[in-house]
């Protein structure tokens, strides 16, 4: 139960908008949805490149810290409220 309470707080705190993946590409977070069978929270997002498809990723994975080249980095970082705001970065 502690995990679901913690997950609930994270999903409420996750802002919609544009995020940069640690590899450098940008994604638009649309919101958080629940899996119909497990009730696990998933982030719904759109790629801002290529076919611009919709994807989901478990919330815990979206918010996790990863190790790359010996450094700890957030998997995704919020960078802008809207796609048009990327031009000013």
**Structural domains of the chain ordered from first start:** 2-82 (2.30.30.320)
6-28 mean pLDDT: 82
Q: What is the pTM of this model?
A: 0.80
User: Strand, coil or helix: what is 64?
Assistant: coil
Higher confidence at residue 10 or residue 42? Answer: 42
Q: Of 11, 69, 68, which Cα lies nearest the Cα of 39?
A: 11
Q: Measured between alpha carbons, how far is 87 from 70 in angstroms, rounded to an integer?
A: 31
Tokens of 46: 């759109």
- 48 CB neighbour count, 10 Å cutoff: 15
Query: In the prediction, which pLDDT does 46 show?
Result: 97
């Amino acid at each position: 139960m502690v995990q679901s309470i913690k997950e609930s707080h994270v999903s409420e705190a996750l802002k919609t908008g544009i995020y940069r993946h640690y590899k450098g590409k940008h994604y638009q977070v649309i919101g958080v949805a629940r899996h119909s069978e497990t009730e696990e929270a998933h982030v719904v997002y759109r790629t801002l490149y290529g076919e611009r498809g919709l994807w989901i990723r478990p919330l815990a994975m979206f918010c996790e810290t990863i190790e790359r080249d010996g450094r700890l980095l957030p998997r995704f970082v919020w960078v802008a409220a809207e796609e048009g705001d990327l031009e000013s970065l």
